[in-house]
């Protein structure tokens, strides 16, 4: 049978010379009593070392682990419990994700570099190589954040919102995004929905941001219902409650 290692360690190893894990009740009121492999009941389990390595593929170690893992000393983090295999798998996944993120960052084209920098808040440095270096560093140190931003299906909308705010095509007032005098959302997600509902306006604003002149006069936004600031905020609160 393959070894399954569990490691218990004291949070203060240099000061630890003896500890007694007494029998206890958990939060549900269930009483936990240490019982060895021979069925003998004990008042608890004592230890004179700052660490304890168990192989839960062995029945005696499994029984001890079941007793210790919910113990108040572990729950209070005076002692930590580490599943060695899970930790190794997690570290392996993180390394692989980081490597993939670095590869993706390195092959970004110039526009992708600038767009990512806007969304990640990496500054307005116009030197693409400096920005690319920052992005690669982020990919190495926080692959999860890089992947979330880079592969976001709504990335083009989020980039547009940033550019539109800078160019004042949209504004942000009193914690609300505005198109002219109309409230269009209190979050980026709500603004994205509005942009999708108003494709003509979105297309015109994108053209204007690229430096072109609009061939169509500003159109009135599609309104499925009265959409003022109070209603937008109320909708946001409702969404949070549903989540």
Does the pLDDT at position 229 exceed 60? no
Give the model's confidence band at 220: pLDDT under 50 very low, under 70 low, under 90 confident, else very high: low
- The 10s digit of each residue's pLDDT in 14-47 is 999 999 999 999 999 999 999 999 999 999 999 9
- The 10s digit of each residue's pLDDT in 97-131 is 999 999 999 999 999 999 999 999 987 667 899 99
Q: Which pairs count as long-range contacts for 98-104, CB under 8 Å and 24+ apart, including other chains?
A: 98/139, 98/140, 98/143, 100/143, 100/147, 101/139, 101/140, 101/143, 101/146, 101/147, 101/150, 102/136, 102/139, 102/140, 104/139, 104/146, 104/150
CB 154 within 8 A of CB 192: yes
Q: What is the pLDDT of residue 234?
A: 58
CB 221 within 8 A of CB 182: yes
Give the model's confidence band at 216: pLDDT under 50 very low, under 70 low, under 90 confident, else very high: very low
Percent of all residues in the chain with a pLDDT value above 90, rounded to a whole number = 80
Task: Report residue 114 as tokens.
Answer: 């600038």
Q: What is the pLDDT of residue 123?
A: 78
Pairwise CA distance, residues 22 & 9, whole Å: 17
Beta bridge partners of 76: none
Give the model's confidence band at 214: pLDDT under 50 very low, under 70 low, under 90 confident, else very high: very low
Tally of CA atoms within 13 A in the half-sphere of 197 that contains its CB: 14
Q: Give the three-class secondary structure for 41.
A: strand
For the chain, the straight-line distance linking the first and the last C-alpha, in angstroms and rounded, comes to 43
CB 97 within 8 A of CB 144: yes
Does the pLDDT at position 136 exceed 80? yes
Task: Report residue 174 as tokens.
Answer: 């009193």
Does the pLDDT at position 8 exceed 50? yes
- The 10s digit of each residue's pLDDT in 50-95 is 999 999 999 999 999 999 999 999 999 999 999 999 999 999 998 9
Q: What is the pLDDT of residue 223?
A: 54
Task: Report residue 176 as tokens.
Answer: 């609300």
- The 10s digit of each residue's pLDDT in 144-198 is 999 999 999 999 999 999 999 999 999 999 999 999 999 999 999 999 999 999 9
Q: Could you count the other beta carbons within 10 Å of the beta carbon of residue 65?
A: 19
Q: What is the mean pLDDT of the segment spanning 202-207?
A: 94
CB 138 within 8 A of CB 144: no
- What is the maximum span of the chain, computed from C-alpha positions, in angstroms? 87
Q: What is the pLDDT of residue 3?
A: 85
CB 69 within 8 A of CB 81: yes
């Amino acid at each position: 049978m393959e070894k399954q290692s569990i490691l218990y360690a004291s949070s203060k190893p240099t000061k630890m010379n003896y500890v007694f894990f007494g029998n206890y009740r958990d939060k549900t009121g269930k009483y936990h009593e240490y019982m060895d492999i021979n069925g003998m009941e004990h008042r608890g389990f004592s230890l004179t070392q700052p660490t304890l390595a168990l192989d839960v593929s062995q029945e005696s170690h499994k029984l001890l682990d079941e007793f210790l893992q919910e113990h108040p000393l572990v729950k209070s983090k005076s002692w930590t419990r580490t599943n060695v295999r899970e930790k190794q798998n997690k570290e392996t996944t993180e390394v692989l994700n980081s490597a993939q993120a670095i590869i993706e960052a390195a092959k970004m084209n110039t526009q992708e570099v600038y767009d990512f920098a806007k969304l990640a808040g990496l500054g307005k440095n116009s030197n693409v190589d400096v920005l690319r270096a920052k992005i690669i560093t982020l990919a190495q140190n926080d692959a999860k954040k890089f992947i979330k931003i880079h592969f976001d299906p709504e990335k083009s909308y989020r980039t547009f919102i940033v550019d539109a705010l800078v160019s004042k095509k949209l504004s942000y007032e009193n914690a609300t995004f505005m198109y002219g005098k109309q409230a269009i959302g209190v979050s980026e997600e709500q603004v994205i929905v509005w942009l999708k509902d108003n494709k003509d306006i979105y297309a015109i604003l994108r053209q204007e941001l690229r430096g072109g002149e609009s061939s169509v006069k500003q159109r009135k936004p599609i309104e499925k219902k009265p959409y003022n600031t109070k209603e937008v905020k109320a909708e946001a609160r409702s969404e949070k409650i549903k989540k």
